Amino acid sequence: MNSSWLDAVAVRVSRRSFEPEAPRGELLDRLERVCRDFRPFPEARAALVRDPVDKVAAGIIGSYGRVSGAPCYLAFIGRMDSARVQECAGYTGEALILEATSLGLATCWVGGLFKPAAVSSRLGLGENEKVICISPVGYPKAKPSLTDRTFKVIAGSARRKPLEELMEGGRVPEGGMKAAVEAARLSPSANNRQPWRFRADGRTVTVFTDNGKREWKLSRRLDCGIAMLHFELGARAAGLAGEWEFLEAPKVARYVLSATSFS
Ligand SMILES: Cc1cc2nc3c(=O)[nH]c(=O)nc-3n(C[C@H](O)[C@H](O)[C@H](O)COP(=O)(O)O)c2cc1C
């Protein structure tokens, strides 16, 4: 884990309209290295594709809602024969999003509006592997595009639920645990639906999904994986080391503090 990722949590926002200028070679080499080296779970990985995102982006109607202009993109790939593929893909993908942010590059998780076959043809996919999401990578246009501004209104992008609403029984933990769930609260999610809920209980924090009915074609466990990474960055920065145990639906995973976090 990179120590700059927690700083990136505070400044990251989705951008959908990009300058065609390619990021300097060493920045892309760096992203490629993190794609290769950050593989905390065998069922998910990320890959950088040095090809314009316009070749694989789609719009809601024509080009409306489309991400455009970025000279390259990240692909987030999962092994679909694993029950925990969604949360692992969210966790792994968000690390690359935060790495790109810390390198001064803009991103946007894209789950719906892309052509999976066109992305797959650029990658060597293994058995059972699928491209779950992509993200454009590059320098954003100086002024947010109409699509960016529309998403801000429709998805309420800038808004996040208060912590009390995310914690079971409204019980907000104190100290380092509070900082950790606060970092999770700032996570991006599809349509800004923020489906993650938390139960803090002494030495563990359990992440589970809300009971929202609409999946918007994307698993809420994917969003929860993103929040798990944010949570862990906040926890570790507060000296609360721990490990994830994966759980069955509607639970997602439990962060178990290591014994040293109590000494
Ligand atoms: C899994 C996932 C899928 C997303 N899919 C799309 C998408 O298809 N198109 C899009 O424009 N934004 C997409 N978003 C971006 C969200 O709309 C955005 O993260 C949310 O509104 C919060 O705004 P912020 O990222 O600026 O904080 C996606 C985000 C996530 C996490």
Query: What are the φ/ψ torsions at residue 134 (nearest 5 degrees)?
Result: -130, 170
Quote the pLDDT of residue 212: 73
Type of residue numbered 56:
V
Q: What confidence score (pLDDT) does residue 62 get?
A: 67
The tokens describing 62, both together, are: 């024509």
The pLDDT score that the predictor gives to residue 154 is 66
How far away, in angstroms, is 14 Cα from ligand 1 center? 7
Q: What is the pLDDT of residue 119?
A: 96
Q: % helix / strand / coil in the chain, to the nearest 5?
A: 35, 20, 40
* CA of residue 170 relative to chain centroid, distance: 25
Kindly report the protein residue whose alpha carbon is nearest to atom 10 of ligand 1: 110
3-state secondary structure of 29: helix
Q: What is the pLDDT of residue 61?
A: 67
Report how far residue 49's alpha carbon sits from residue 73's, in angstroms, rounded to the nearest whole number: 5
Q: For residue 212, which of 233, 197, 231 has the smallest C-alpha distance?
A: 197
Instruction: Tell me how far apart the alpha carbons of residues 32 and 47 are, in angstroms, rounded to a whole number.
Output: 7
CA of 206 to the centre of ligand 1 (A): 24
Q: How far, in Å, is the centroid of ligand 1 from the Cα of 13? A: 9
Residues paired with residue 213 on neighbouring β-strands, in sequence order: none
- Inter-helix orientation angle 220-237/85-102, to 10°: 50
Which residues, at least 6 apart from 217, have a Cβ–Cβ distance to it below 8 Å? 111, 112
Residue 24 φ then ψ, to 5°: -55, 150
DSSP bridge partners of 204: 201, 256
pLDDT at 57: 93
Cβ 204 vs Cβ 194: under 8 Å: no
Report yes or no: 185 and 164 within 8 Å, Cβ to Cβ: no
Q: Which residues contact 247 (CB under 8 A, 6 or more apart)?
A: 206, 208, 253, 254
Q: Domains of the chain (ranges plus CATH)? A: 5-152 (3.40.109.10), 163-262 (3.40.109.30)
* 252 CA to centre of ligand 1 in angstroms: 20
Average pLDDT for the chain: 92
Nearest-atom number in ligand 1 for the CA of 13 is: 26
Which residue's CA is minimally distant from atom 31 of ligand 1?
189
Q: Distance (Å, rounded) from C-alpha 67 to C-alpha 45?
A: 22
| φ, ψ at 56 (rounded to 5°) | -125, 0
- Mean pLDDT per 10-residue segment, the chain (263 residues): 93 95 95 98 97 91 80 98 97 98 97 93 94 97 76 70 94 93 96 94 92 77 98 97 95 93 66
What tokens appear for 240 in the block? 């609360």
What lines the ligand 1 site, CB under 6 Å?
A: 13-14, 16, 108-113, 133, 151, 155, 157, 188-192, 218, 222-223, 226
C-alpha span between 134 and 130 (Å, rounded): 11
Please give the model's pTM, rounded to 2 decimal places: 0.95
| Polymer length of the chain | 263
